[in-house]
């Protein structure tokens, strides 16, 4: 029994009331342990800060963890976080600056709070062998950011945001962070009637460049990420989806400085699958990290549920494996329990659900790759591109004239079109997912 959570360490098939059924951390899959593959992280904001309030009601969970004065509450959050991660065997955590220390009346005072409490957090996490996957600045909560931060019409607000990013980078580096995330909470617009999109996007890129230059100057060796999201809280967010962000990065010459942090629920809000977003990131060399959660297709907002769908997790892990696995990134549960799950220990069930869902996903994705049929079929489908004509087009040595002559000589090409065999492939995935000899 812990100090904060009523649970012993949760392990693989222990028979205890909470156990992992698939997540066996030291099991080796395709040459690496499951723990190394999955690199699970706990999100500080959902897990140790948010108390379950929504637009219609107050919180239902007490996350003061017995603390009374404000600093004591934040210190206890750090201790509770380490205990929670120990129980689950989670190695990494992620935070916003404002999750770990309270904002004060002036920026100087706020920064002092952050210095003191991040020292404490760093010490607690180091004592427990926990590592920082990424840090970020909360540039969306405070009213000053109502019109945006890096895209605010006010240069003063832009400057304040820049100061906050500087400090958040300092803290991330101090705590040994492997990454730094930009999620553009209010970087978007409500109406074009009052918005200068061109200037706002240029300014956002300026802030990103400043962050890169400063981060590298102070010795940040990790990855910078952008986390795409199409809407909420603003009607239209500039970082709509992976493709939009990649185009933005290229326009401003930032493509070698940033990777993407792909969130499942943001993908579905953009009208894409999680797999699609990961795939677009991967094929553009921008795969970085993952915010693991799950939306509800009947609801139009970021419900941030714990992932429970092994099929989705399989398709996700297939992309991760094909990207060569995580380097600085990992699998951060940007997820919260439902408001009706009103006991602190319900959070353990949420994480067990999410971790086991991704363990199943990893095991099945590895089976798909080992089985080889899916990859072979895909390769076959494109085999003509390895032929003489295909090679010439690929090397840039063909022309419309040449291809016109070729097509005219053929007369028609319908006979060269093969079946896509979608149903066969879907059945195969089910077979690999559910066959008993896993
Ligand atoms: C909100 C985002 C946020 C980021 C971090 O929708 O997912 O939680 O991950 O600022
Ligand atoms: Ni997120
Ligand atoms: Ni989100």
Per DSSP bridges, beta strands 188-189 and 223-226 are: unpaired
At residue 381, does pLDDT exceed 90?
yes
At residue 436, does pLDDT exceed 70?
no
Question: Which residues make up the environment of ion ligand 3, defined by Cβ < 5 Å?
Answer: 302
CA 246 to chain centre: 16
d(CA 183, CA 163): 17
Kindly list the distances between the CA atom of residue 259 and the CA atoms of 7, 27, 179, 221, 245, in Å, as whole numbers in the listed order. 37, 29, 10, 14, 10
Nearest to 281 by CA among 321, 242, 316: 242
Question: Residue 94 CA: which ligand is closest?
Answer: 1
Which residues make Cβ contacts (< 8 Å) with residue 216, sequence separation at least 6? none
Q: 229 and 262 in contact (C-beta within 8 Å)? A: no
d(CA 239, CA 188): 8
Nearest C-alpha to atom 2 of ligand 1 is from which residue?
183
Domains annotated on the chain, with CATH: 28-371 (3.20.20.150), 374-433 (no CATH)
Q: 33 and 27 in contact (C-beta within 8 Å)? A: yes
pLDDT of residue 435: 81
Question: Which one of the listed residues 37, 46, 91, 96 is annotated catalytic?
Answer: 96
What per-residue string of b and e applies to 350-371 under the rule 16 or more CB within 10 Å gives b? bbbbbbbbbbbbbbbbbbbbee
Arithmetic mean of pLDDT over the chain: 97
Q: Is the pTM of this model over 0.85?
A: yes
Mean pLDDT of 69-97: 98
Nearest C-alpha to atom 8 of ligand 1 is from which residue?
334
pLDDT of residue 29: 98
Nearest C-alpha to atom 6 of ligand 1 is from which residue?
302
**Ligand 1, residues at Cβ distance < 6 Å:** 96, 136, 181, 183, 227, 229, 263, 291, 302, 334
CA 208 to chain centre: 19
Question: Residue 291 CA: which ligand is closest?
Answer: 2
Question: Which one of the listed residues 46, 91, 97, 99 is annotated catalytic?
Answer: 99
Q: 96 an active-site residue?
A: yes
Tell me which DSSP letter residue 332 carries: E
At residue 437, does pLDDT exceed 60?
no
Nearest C-alpha to atom 4 of ligand 1 is from which residue?
183
At residue 323, does pLDDT exceed 90?
yes
Distance 225 CA to ligand 3 centre (A): 14
The backbone region for 292, taken as left when phi is positive above 0, alpha when psi lies in -120 to 50, beta otherwise, is beta
C-alpha count within 13 angstroms, C-beta hemisphere, residue 317: 30
Instruction: For residue 94, give the ligand 1 atom closest to its CA.
Output: 5
Q: 37 an active-site residue?
A: no
Q: 302 and 45 in contact (C-beta within 8 Å)? A: no
Distance 375 CA to ligand 2 centre (A): 31
Alpha helices in 218-342, H assignment, sequence order: 242-251, 264-269, 274-283, 310-322
């Amino acid at each position: 029994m812990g100090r904060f959570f009523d649970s012993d360490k949760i392990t693989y098939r222990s028979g205890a009331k909470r156990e992992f059924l698939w997540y066996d951390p030291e099991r080796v899959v395709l040459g690496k342990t499951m723990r190394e593959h999955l690199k699970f992280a706990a999100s500080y904001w959902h897990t140790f800060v948010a108390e379950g309030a929504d637009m219609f009601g107050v919180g239902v969970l007490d996350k003061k963890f017995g603390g009374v004065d404000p600093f004591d509450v934040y210190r206890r959050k750090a201790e509770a976080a380490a205990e929670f991660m120990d129980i689950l065997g989670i190695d990494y955590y992620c935070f916003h600056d404002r999750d770990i220390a309270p904002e004060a009346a002036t920026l100087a005072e706020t920064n002092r709070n952050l210095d003191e409490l991040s020292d404490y957090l760093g010490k607690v996490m180091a004592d427990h062998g926990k590592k920082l996957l990424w840090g970020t600045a909360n540039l969306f909560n405070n009213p000053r950011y109502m019109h945006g931060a890096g895209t605010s019409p006010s240069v003063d607000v832009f400057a304040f945001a820049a100061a906050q990013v500087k400090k958040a980078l300092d803290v991330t580096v101090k705590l040994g962070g492997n990454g730094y995330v930009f999620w553009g909470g209010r970087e978007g617009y409500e109406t074009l009637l009052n918005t200068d999109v061109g200037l706002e996007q240029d300014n956002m890129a300026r802030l990103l460049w400043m962050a890169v230059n400063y981060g590298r100057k102070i010795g940040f060796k990790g990855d910078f990420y952008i986390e795409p999201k199409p809407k909420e809280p603003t009607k239209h967010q500039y970082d709509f989806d992976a493709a939009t962000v990649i185009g933005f990065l290229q326009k401003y010459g930032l493509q070698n400085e940033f990777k993407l942090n792909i969130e499942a629920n943001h993908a579905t809000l953009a009208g894409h699958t999680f797999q699609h977003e990961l795939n677009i990131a991967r094929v553009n060399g921008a795969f970085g990290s993952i915010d693991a959660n799950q939306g509800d297709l009947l609801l139009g907002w970021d419900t941030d549920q714990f992932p429970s769908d092994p099929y989705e997790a399989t398709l996700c892990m297939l992309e991760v494996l094909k990207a060569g696995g995580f380097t600085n990134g990992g699998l951060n549960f940007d997820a919260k329990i439902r408001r009706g799950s009103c006991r602190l220990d319900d959070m353990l069930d949420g994480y067990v659900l999410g971790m086991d869902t991704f363990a199943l996903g990893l095991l099945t994705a590895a089976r798909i790759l080992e089985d080889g049929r899916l990859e072979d079929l895909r390769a076959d489908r494109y085999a003509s591109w390895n032929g003489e004509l295909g090679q010439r087009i690929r090397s840039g040595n063909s022309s419309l004239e040449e291809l016109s002559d070729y097509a005219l000589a053929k007369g028609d090409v319908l006979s060269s079109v093969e079946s896509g065999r979608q149903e066969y492939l879907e059945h195969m995935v089910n077979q690999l997912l559910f066959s008993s000899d896993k």
